Structure 1
Amino acid sequence: MKIEDWFHTLRNKAQTIEEKWQGASEQERLQLAEQLFQLRQVSDTVVDLWLQFEEKLSNAIRSIKEMEGQLPAEEKKTDQSKVNTESPKAVETNQYEPIFRRGEGFYHLRMFQDAKKCFAELVQKSPDWESGRLYYAYSLLLCEEQELAFREFRLLGRTASSPTIVAISFNAIGCILAEEEQWLEAAQAFKTSLEIKPEQEEAKYNLALCYLRDGDAQEALDELEPYLEKNEHDWEAQMLWLRAAKLLHRMDQTVEWSPPKGLQLPTRDLDSDTLQEMASLYETVGNYHRAQICYHFLTERSPKDGWTWHGLAWNTWLIAGTKRALTLVKKAISLAPENDDFLFSYGWMLLFDGRVEEAIKAFRIMLEKNRDNRLGQSGMISAYEKLGDTQEAKRLAKYFLEDAEPYVRSLGYFHLGRIAVVEENWRLAEQYFQRALPFAEQLWEIPIYLQLCASKLGQAEMQTELVQP
């Protein structure tokens, strides 16, 4: 039997025990528990044997490389201190190599608590073994002992003789600082890492992420573009580029940028998360046809996920209107009937197709489940506007102004501004839109309405000046 088949059999046994446990009797559970205990003994034996094998294999490879003179230059330099008999620490380092190999084995098996114990012993007995201390720092980090890990990485960053270990340590320091949302300090750590080792791709990605999280979209793009030239299919970097481009567009709609090669057109080869981010960017810049293509690929890949059909429906509606979109949004609702966003979109499409009564039914279904549902109330406000009942629309909108959430209050001012536009009360409309302006990123029509108000008010002032004696 192949070793792969043997492990497959063991996995199947563990899965079978898990599946049988829920419906098993007390006696059957005792038998299943005994089987689990036996599997645990097998696992422990395999780990021990693998560690012994790994240690012997590593020693054999190292010895043969030394005999053949094939040890890489940097590795020779490091190992020279391990085997140099003129140095007392050299003998000490070589003496503790079995501890290092055992800890390394535990680490690669993701048994980080065991790895931490081995490397803690190693750094105590051989504190100058830099790669051992690096493993110790990472083991601490992966055991969620961040403060101790941070201290070890800082020590390596200041004292290590290997540029590679110094660069890796500063990259790790940056990751810890980024976890605490100290973006400026994290970015500086990543920059230091890259100054020491410019080719370290991980630090380049991390630096771009810091820039983006700190709101520096252009800086993020500048770091990501050369990174993606070398790592064209890195879907995480692709997503990061798309988010940075979307943020930059929101900050400055006149800015021009060219997508990296792998993101110039949506394709089926792209990762699902990347396609979703790409669709979001295309929606932001108004390229609904390409967003529609992204969602089409996503529905093929995830046909049972309602959000993929909703995205396809929404962009189809923006391109081709209600008739073609309704079937798609109904599909989304059937897959996730509890999702109010989908039902709201259905009502919204009906509303703008002039089917006001049908739209009201959809919004009322939402309000029957939750009378304070802001989406349902927003739909009803727009429906009352369509019916010409601006008083009822105002009454509903003013409820939003009492909400504790700033965004909901801004949404209320936005609704009241739109109602004032319908009534051609331009000055009042402008005042309402100004109050909603802090959330213009979410309510993207606000700048357009403000321009309309300014234009109407300017025309009125000009007419007033013309009739003055």
Structure 2
Amino acid sequence: MKIEDWFHTLRNKAQKIEEKWQGASEQERLQLAEQLFQLRQVSDTVVDLWLQFEEKLSNAIRNIKEMEGQLPAEEKKTDPSKVNKKSPKAIETNPYEPIFRRGEGFYHLRMFQDAKKCFAELVQKSPDWESGRLYYAYSLLLCEENDLAFREFRLLGRTASSPTVVAISFNAIGCILAEEEQWLEAAQAFKTSLEIKPEQEEAKYNLALCYLRDGDAQEALDELEPYLEKNEHDWEAQMLWLRAAKLLHTMDETVEWSPPKGLQLPTRDLDSDTLQEMASLYETVGNYHRAQICYHFLTERSPKEGWTWHGLAWNTWLIAGTKRALTLVKKAISLAPENDDFLFSYGWMLLFDGRVEEAIKAFRIMLEKNRDNRLGQSGMISAYEKLGDTQEAKRLAKYFLEDTEPYVRSLGYFHLGRIAVVEENWRLAEQYLQRALPFAEQFWEIPIYLQLCASKLGQSEMKTELVQP
């Protein structure tokens, strides 16, 4: 019997016991409990045998590497966990190696509580064993005992003789600090790790991520570009680069950047998450053709996901209009009929194609499900504007001003400002639009409308911060 089949049989036995338990009598439960106990004994035996095998395998690999001259001198000097057990001297020098091997085995089996107990015993009996303390620190971290883990990593960072152990420890310190959103301190820890061991790729990626989370988009890009030269197909780093580029664009639309080689054009080889981030970046900078290509690849890869068809539909509409996009957005709605965003897009496309009554029907379907749906209400406001019924449009828009969310209130002021522009009430339009300014990034038309109001009111020029480049 193959080992896979044997484990499959054991899993089936455990599952059958679980299924029979609820309807079993007291006597039957005693029998089932006995079977569970036997399975637990089998499990313990397997773990013990695996640990013995892992120990032998690790020693064999190290010995062969040493015979072939492939073992780094630093490892020979600083990692007592890999000393040849056949040597009596080694056994004499490292009497606690069996504890290390047992803990290491539990760690690789992801049994972190058991690993923590082994390494806690090890560091108590052999406090200078650096690799053992490093395992202990990581076991604590993976058991969510962050404070104790931080203390162990900091001790290693200050006292370890191995540069590798010190670099790894500072990288881990940075991760703990980043989890607590202490971005400045985390970045410093990652920098220290890289000063000690510049080739440590994980710390480079972590530093870039830290910069991005702290809003330093340019610094994140500076770290990621050399990283992606060596790790061209690392999709997580690609996503990070795209997010940093998007953030940088929102901060300064005049900045110019050149994508890394693997991101210069969307291709089918890219990971789905990377394609999605790439599409988002292209939409931000107005490159709808490339965004459309990204979504085309995504629909091929995930044809049953409504969001892929919606993204393709929206960018197709921006490029070629309603006729070509409508079938695609209908596909998205059929795959996710509960998603109001898709139905709103359908109504919005119809509205701008002059099919106002059909658009109103779509928006009303949304409002029948939820009368307070802000998307549906916004669609109706725009539809009433198209029909020339500005009074009804204003009535709906004023409901937004009663909302507790600042963004929704700003959206209401934005609607009222646009309606006032249509009515050529320039002073009122300016007042409404000024109140929507805190969310000008979401409503990119505000500076244009304000400039128009200023012109109509006889003002010579607007403040430069209200004018988009």
Same fold (TM over 0.5): yes
CA drift at 1:70: 5.6
User: 1:369–1:467: structure 2 CA closer, same or farther, 3 Å change rule?
Assistant: closer
1 CA distance for matches of 2:405 and 2:102? 55
CA drift at 1:454: 3.7
**1:133-186: CA deviation from partner (whole Å, max 9, x where unpaired):** 010000000001011101111111111111111111111111111111111111
**1:307-363: CA deviation from partner (whole Å, max 9, x where unpaired):** 111111111111111111111111111111111111111111111111111111111
User: 1:88–1:101: structure 2 CA closer, same or farther, 3 Å change rule?
Assistant: closer
User: 1:347–1:61: structure 2 CA closer, same or farther, 3 Å change rule?
Assistant: closer
CA drift at 1:44: 2.5
Equivalent residues in 2 for 1:103-182, closer than 5 Å: 103-182=103-182
Name whichever of 449-458 and 26-35 sits farther off.
26-35
Share of identical aligned residues, percent? 96
Paired residue secondary structure (2:458) = helix
1 CA distance for matches of 2:232 and 2:463? 59
**1:269-289: CA deviation from partner (whole Å, max 9, x where unpaired):** 111111111111111111111
CA drift at 1:57: 2.8
Aligned length: 469
Contact (CA 8 Å) 2:437, 2:446: kept in 1 or not?
Answer: yes
Superposition CA RMSD, Å: 4.7
**1:354-379: CA deviation from partner (whole Å, max 9, x where unpaired):** 11111111111111111111111111
Paired residue secondary structure (1:459) = coil
User: 1:100–1:464: structure 2 CA closer, same or farther, 3 Å change rule?
Assistant: closer
Contact (CA 8 Å) 2:283, 2:291: kept in 1 or not?
Answer: yes
2 CA distance for matches of 1:217 and 1:464? 24
CA drift at 1:430: 2.6
2 CA distance for matches of 1:111 and 1:217? 38
Contact (CA 8 Å) 2:59, 2:82: kept in 1 or not?
Answer: no
2 CA distance for matches of 1:353 and 1:383? 12
CA drift at 1:64: 5.7
TM-score scaled by length of structure 2: 0.90
Name whichever of 173-182 and 92-101 sits farther off.
92-101
User: 1:353–1:67: structure 2 CA closer, same or farther, 3 Å change rule?
Assistant: closer
User: 1:464–1:269: structure 2 CA closer, same or farther, 3 Å change rule?
Assistant: closer
CA drift at 1:435: 1.7
2 CA distance for matches of 1:461 and 1:72? 69
Contact (CA 8 Å) 2:322, 2:350: kept in 1 or not?
Answer: yes
2 CA distance for matches of 1:277 and 1:464? 31
CA drift at 1:27: 9.9
User: 1:89–1:130: structure 2 CA closer, same or farther, 3 Å change rule?
Assistant: farther
CA drift at 1:429: 2.2
Name stretches of at least 5 consecutive residues in structure 2 with no aligned partner: none
> Match of 1:199?
199
Name whichever of 359-368 and 236-245 sits farther off.
359-368
CA drift at 1:77: 1.6
Contact (CA 8 Å) 1:313, 1:328: kept in 2 or not?
Answer: yes
CA drift at 1:129: 0.5
CA drift at 1:63: 5.1
User: 1:73–1:465: structure 2 CA closer, same or farther, 3 Å change rule?
Assistant: closer
Name whichever of 25-34 and 88-97 sits farther off.
25-34
User: 1:386–1:39: structure 2 CA closer, same or farther, 3 Å change rule?
Assistant: farther
User: 1:324–1:22: structure 2 CA closer, same or farther, 3 Å change rule?
Assistant: farther
Name whichever of 454-463 and 346-355 sits farther off.
454-463
TM-score scaled by length of structure 1: 0.90
Name stretches of at least 5 consecutive residues in structure 1 with no aligned partner: none
Contact (CA 8 Å) 1:82, 1:89: kept in 2 or not?
Answer: no
**1:190-241: CA deviation from partner (whole Å, max 9, x where unpaired):** 1111111111111111111111111111111111111111111111111111
Contact (CA 8 Å) 1:153, 1:173: kept in 2 or not?
Answer: yes
2 CA distance for matches of 1:219 and 1:204? 12
Name whichever of 53-62 and 101-110 sits farther off.
53-62
1 CA distance for matches of 2:428 and 2:463? 19
Contact (CA 8 Å) 2:313, 2:329: kept in 1 or not?
Answer: yes
User: 1:39–1:436: structure 2 CA closer, same or farther, 3 Å change rule?
Assistant: farther
2 CA distance for matches of 1:132 and 1:468? 58
